[in-house]
Amino acid sequence: MERNKKKKFIYASICIVIVLIASLGMVYSSKNNQKLVSVTAKVVETGDIVVRVPANGVIEEVNRHLVVHESVAKVLSVEVKEGESVVEGQVLAHLEPNDVSVRKQIKESQLAMEKLDLEKLENTRERTRINLSRAKTEAKETAERSKALYEAGAISKIELNKSIEALENAEREYLDFNVFRDGLSIDIEKMKRKIDVTKLEIKELEKEQQRAGTLITSPINGIVTKVNLERGMTVSPTNPSFIISDLSELKIEINVSEYDISKVKVGQLVEINSDAIGDGTLFGEVEKIAPVATRIASGQVNETVVPVTIKVDGTHEGVKPGFSVRTRIVSEQKENVIIVPFDTIVSEQNGAKIVWIVTPDNILKRVEVQTGIESDFEIEIISGINKGDTVVLNPSSNLKEDIKVNVNLRD
């Protein structure tokens, strides 16, 4: 009986120990299986950061000439095709001669006749002057002889008076001719004015003849980018006959948002990409910034923008006016500075900028930082963290300082 009681006591003690051990194991297991907060993090590095202002635009030629013929004429032949290179003065088309030359010849003949008529009038007037002068001289000589004869008693008083009256008439006619405007003087003046008018008409016809020449030529060295003529057509001054473009100088007109324009300065480098030119990158520089902003439609709203002109550097085979391009103005860049991804930064209501860092023993710490310039995906850190620190990416609002976390490092 006594032995059975001892056995029961031993069994009971063993069961209690087993239960205690099991309980302690469950507590220990529960403690070790408690889930830690997981965060994705990245080791802080130094590198280069570039601020770029993006915008879309279209490549255009700087020098683009509309070749316009200034009179109506029929096209005899077109000597160039679109895409051909031309030099200044090269013939682009031949035109049928018009009647300007004929009208000019008629006016030149008219001028020659008018000059002959003027010469005749001037000769007639000069002969008249000579005759009047001779008549006055002869009348004076006759009057002097008559006076001598009268004094000698050879002629009567009446005959003397007749010679004196003839002299007075001759002198009056000569004076009237030279002092007052006679009919011939008026005719000469009219003819001179008529000649002046004819000369002006000839000059205008000469200008018209130059404008309405039988050739259309290129005003510059360049490429024929548009031909609007065909043989048999009628050329008109209201429409350009050709468009000649100088492809050695290209530009891009873009619109920069009012929020970004403060970052843009004349002379800044511009990176240029386009699907039409493949994977290569062209370069240019900001050449001009418009002095005033403008509003343009952007979807359902109006946007305020500032027009900016970009000069494309150099010449590039295969690059054509009209290509759509993507431009990025390099506004600012720094080398070998601390940079972190944008999604590490938390902005608080008071304006402070916060990052969460993980200590070597996986404890979270909240750190305020001072930031610098920003690129498309990264931001410069001026102070607050150092190279080699581990920062949390896209931190949750539920994070708390000094808790231990499970860290998933990302490159």
| φ and ψ at residue 305, rounded to 5 degrees | -135, 165
pLDDT class of 12 with cuts at 50, 70, 90:
low
Q: Which CATH number fits domain 69-97+213-239: 2.40.50.100, 2.60.120.280, 2.60.120.10, 3.30.70.360?
A: 2.40.50.100
Structure tokens at 378: 């990264």
Three-state secondary structure readout of 246-284: EEEEEEEEEEEECCCHHHCCCCCEEEEECHHHCCCCEEE
Instruction: Give the per-residue SS3 of 345-372.
Output: CEECCCCCEEEEEECCCCEEEEEEEEEE
Q: What is the largest CA-CA distance in the chain?
A: 222
Confidence label for 195 from pLDDT (cuts 50, 70 and 90): very high
In the predicted structure, residue 155 carries a pLDDT above the cut 60: yes
Report the percentage of the chain scoring pLDDT > 90: 46
pLDDT in the model for residue 260: 92
Domain boundaries, the chain: 37-49+336-409, 69-97+213-239, 100-208, 248-334
Q: What is the pLDDT of residue 11?
A: 52
Query: Which of 372, 365, 273 is closest to 327 using CA atoms?
Result: 273
Separation of alpha carbons 52 and 337, rounded Å = 17
Distance CA 235, CA 69 (A): 7
| Topology (CATH) of 37-49+336-409 | 2.40.420
Non-local (6+) Cβ contacts of 120 within 8 A are none
Asked whether residue 236 carries a pLDDT value surpassing 50, the answer given is yes
Q: What are phi and psi of 369, to 5 degrees?
A: -125, 160
Cβ neighbours of 217 (radius 10 Å)? 16
Which string of DSSP letters, residue by residue, matches 151-164?
A: HTTSS-HHHHHHHH
69-97+213-239 against 248-334: fold identical: no
Q: Does domain 248-334 have CATH number 3.10.200.10?
A: no
Q: How confident is the model at residue 125 (pLDDT cuts 50, 70, 90)?
A: confident
- What was the pLDDT predicted at 212? 60
Collapsing DSSP to helix, strand or coil, 310 comes out as strand
pLDDT in tens, 359-405: 999 999 999 999 999 888 899 999 999 999 999 999 988 889 999 99
Q: Which residues pair with 270 in a beta bridge?
A: 284, 329
pTM score above 0.75? no
Statement: residue 217 has pLDDT above 70: yes
